[in-house]
Amino acid sequence: MCGILAVLGCSDDSQAKRARHGDCFLAHQRLAIVDPASGDQPLYNEDETIVVTVNGEIYNHEELRKRLPGHRFRTGSDCEVIAHLYEEYGDGFVDMLDGIFSFVLLDTRDDSFIAARDAIGITPLYIGWGLEGSVWISSEMKGLKDDCKSFEAFPPGHMYTSKGGSHERWYNPPWYMEAIPSGPYDPLVLREAFEKAVLKRLMTDVPFGVLLSGGLDSSLVAAVISRHIAGTRAAEQWGTQLHSFCIGLEGSPDLKAAKDVAGHLGTVHHEFHLTVQDGIDAIEDVIYHTETYDVTTIRASTPMFLMSRKIKAMGVKMVISGEGSDELFGGYLYFHKAPNKEEFHRETCRKVKALHQYDCLRANKATSAWGLEARVPFLDKEFIDVAMGIDPEWKMIKPDLGRIEKWVLRKAFDDEAKPYLPKHILYRQKEQFSDGVGYGWIDGLKAHAAEHVSDKMMQHAEHIYPYNTPATKEAYYYRRIFERFFPQNSARSIVPGGPSVACSTALAVEWDAQWSKNVDPSGRAAVGVHSSAYDPTAPSLLDADAEHRMSEVKASGLTC
């Protein structure tokens, strides 16, 4: 991830700012993935009247350049098209961009500006306001917290214009209004759409790899790249053998499964180990970089943060990851209890809309803390249209028909003639990432928090933290660290309230009242429901090792 900061309408005449245009300042810290040699920012149009600073990747930039025959480009950067598109089409060009982005564009001809964030919020962005009337826009909260009277998350799929002075939604797909789709399920269409989404993310001029947990989503990403990498831009520079990376506690489910997948695909596999203490030692850094106190996000971000450091140390600057699939296809454990297709679909819509607060935030910030970029093909704009256009009846979990969670995705890649993955991987059950790295990880975090947060502290928690009051000692422990770094009211209000995701959401409680007793936000609470949905007489759906792991979890009492 690149870092961007724009101060617009500022009375400060300090020369410390990097690029000044009247009373506006644009700053950029680059993570160069495409055109490292000449793509430094800010970027301009021909006469430098349009100035833009961007954090992002525009995958269709070559196609867009063809629509701009009268324009002269200064660099090979994929992001330079933004300045020229604005000059040609005005602020209506944003929906033409296929990629991920957060940008600020300054038009010096009339001293106006626009800012925009990508459809799902894969790249982070925040907006704040100074007392003297300035508008601040930054890729991190840290860029605003000391200078803005108030600030907030910039909403995904929106644009902010100085002329309008407010946010306007530019991303308006049919699913956004949660209307129930009726499109047919065509496995081949779904497969081809995903392959296209993966391959366009091989636009890179630097070494890259894939994050491989051994679960369905990351394994499909790795399988598609391995099958189609020959002839791509990435292969021309870095060869056709894919590098894969996994992290976990010794003996963790992910390490075993990832090694299995890597062996099947023939990747150059890198296995990293961590201990519970390694993770605990990194918690403060993780909270500082991810800028959240959400429990599930911190649990999952910590192993990813530690793995990213090791990956970057190997010279790799970009990785492709599997985030977003569970939201699109209802892969979380509590979706087994969805009462009908209408409820199922509306919940997938809500999950996708909230990704910028959870998985996108984790994947982006845990990696970029070390100068590593994560790309997420499941959240490709075109692929989302295909996935969310399928009649949700096909996505429903129906054990009597042999349909487990994400069945439509599994079936799309269940190729008997030329298998993408072994059956036991293609039909491997869902693991929470924070559990997949080792079942002792969450328990170790809870034990550590219990040593540092007393019962008396919890007794008075609502007075110390009246907003989003921590419900557990682990949540209190994270909140206390967060408030040291970000004591502002604006900062604490940006983090979503209440229990996070998984089985603790209000809707899940409606689907099954027993989940209302759950205080811990982990999806572990639904493991019993999840495992019981499998037909024990159908061994092809679940390998013996997975059955053993599920029996261990149930025996440990890790339920609501």
- Enter the DSSP assignment of 56: E
Measured between alpha carbons, how far is 248 from 70 in angstroms, rounded to an integer? 53
Contact present, 297 and 361 (Cβ < 8 Å): yes
Q: Is 481 annotated as a binding residue?
A: no
Which pLDDT score is estimated for 510?
Answer: 76
Whether residue 190 is found in the same domain as residue 69: no
**Domain-embedded: residue 345:** yes
Residues 245 and 310 in one domain: yes
Residue 338 shares a structural domain with residue 462: yes
Report whether pLDDT(375) > 80.
Answer: yes
Task: Calculate mean pLDDT across residues 3-31.
Answer: 74
- How many beta carbons lie within 10 A of that of residue 309, not counting itself? 17
8-17, 18-27, 479-488, 491-500: lowest mean pLDDT where? 8-17
* 2 assigned to active site: yes
**Does 185 share its domain with 166?**
no
> What is the pTM for the complete model shown?
0.89
Nearest alpha-carbon partner for 365 in 288, 277, 432, 441: 288
> What is the arithmetic mean of pLDDT over 482-491?
97
Residue 66 located in a structural domain: yes
Whether the pLDDT of residue 179 is over 70: the answer is: yes
Which of 172, 191, 210 lies at the terminal end of a domain, its last residue?
172
Residue 349's CB: how many other CB atoms inside 10 A?
20
Last residue of a domain, one of 172, 193, 222: 172
Q: Does the residue 560 lie in any domain?
A: no
pLDDT (mean) for 421-447: 81
What would the mean pLDDT of 298-304 be, rounded to a whole number? 96
CATH code assigned at 79 = 3.60.20.10
* CB burial string 476-509: b at 16+ within 10 A, e below: bbbbbbbbebbebebbbebbbeebbbbbbbeebb
Q: With bands split at pLDDT 50, 70 and 90, how would you rate the model's confidence at 437?
A: confident
**Is residue 463 located within the same domain as residue 495?**
yes
Contact by Cβ (8 Å): 125, 141 = no
**Per-residue pLDDT at 277 exceeds 50:** yes
Determine the Cα–Cα distance for residues 293 and 301; give it in Å rounded to an integer.
11
Note the pLDDT of residue 237: 77
| SS3 letters across 266-333 | CCEEEEEECCHHHHHHHHHHHHHHHCCCCHHHHHHHHHHHHHHHHHHHCCCCEEECCCCHHHHHCCCH
The residue written with tokens 């203490």 in the block is 277
Same domain, 115 and 202: no
Average pLDDT of the segment spanning 236-248: 89
Average pLDDT over residues 390-414: 96
Confidence of residue 524 (pLDDT cuts 50, 70, 90): low
**230-239 residue pLDDT tens:** 878 778 777 7
Question: How much is the average pLDDT of 514-520?
Answer: 66
- Higher-pLDDT residue of 514, 9: 9
Are 117 and 125 a contacting pair, CB within 8 Å? yes
Percent of the chain with pLDDT over 70: 84
What's the pLDDT score for residue 545?
36
Residue 322 annotated in ligand binding: yes
What's residue 498's pLDDT? 52
d(CA 325, CA 348): 10
Q: Cα separation of 73 and 307, whole Å? A: 37
Q: Is the pLDDT at 299 greater than 80, yes or no?
A: yes
Last residue of a domain, one of 156, 172, 188: 172
Whether residue 300 is contained in a domain is answered as yes
**Which range, of 24-33, 358-367, 448-457, averages the lowest pLDDT?**
24-33
Lowest mean pLDDT, pick from 31-45, 101-115, 130-144, 346-360: 31-45
Q: Are residues 184 and 164 in the same domain?
A: no
Instruction: Judge if 299 and 440 occupy the same domain.
Output: yes
Cβ atoms 232, 238 nearer than 8 A = no
Within-domain flag for 55: yes
Q: At residue 214, does pLDDT exceed 50?
A: yes
Total domains in the chain come to 2
Structural domain that includes position 322: 179-555
Task: Indicate whether 533 and 401 sit together in one domain.
Answer: yes
Q: Do 339 and 378 belong together in one domain?
A: yes
Looking at 2, 79, 349, 503, which residue is catalytic? Answer: 2
135 inside domain: yes
> Which CATH number belongs to the domain containing residue 368 in this structure?
3.40.50.620
Residue 247 counted as an annotated binding residue? yes
Stronger pLDDT, 411 or 239, i.e. the higher one = 411
CA–centroid distance for 275 within its chain: 25
Q: Would you state the pLDDT for residue 435?
A: 62
| Same domain, residue pair 299 and 356 | yes
Predicted pLDDT of residue 226? 95
30 is written with which tokens?
């680059």
Q: Is residue 75 a part of any domain in this protein? A: yes
Q: How many Å from the N-terminal Cα to the C-terminal Cα in the chain?
A: 38
pLDDT of residue 403: 93
Predicted confidence band at 31 (pLDDT cuts at 50, 70, 90)?
low
265-269, 294-298, 443-447, 540-544 — which is least confidently predicted? 540-544
Please provide the average confidence, as pLDDT, over all residues in the chain: 87
pLDDT tier, 553 (very low <50, low <70, confident <90, very high otherwise): very low
Quick one: 167 and 259 in the same domain?
no
Among 2-11, 183-192, 247-256, the range with the most confident prediction by mean pLDDT is: 183-192
- pLDDT of 442 reads 93
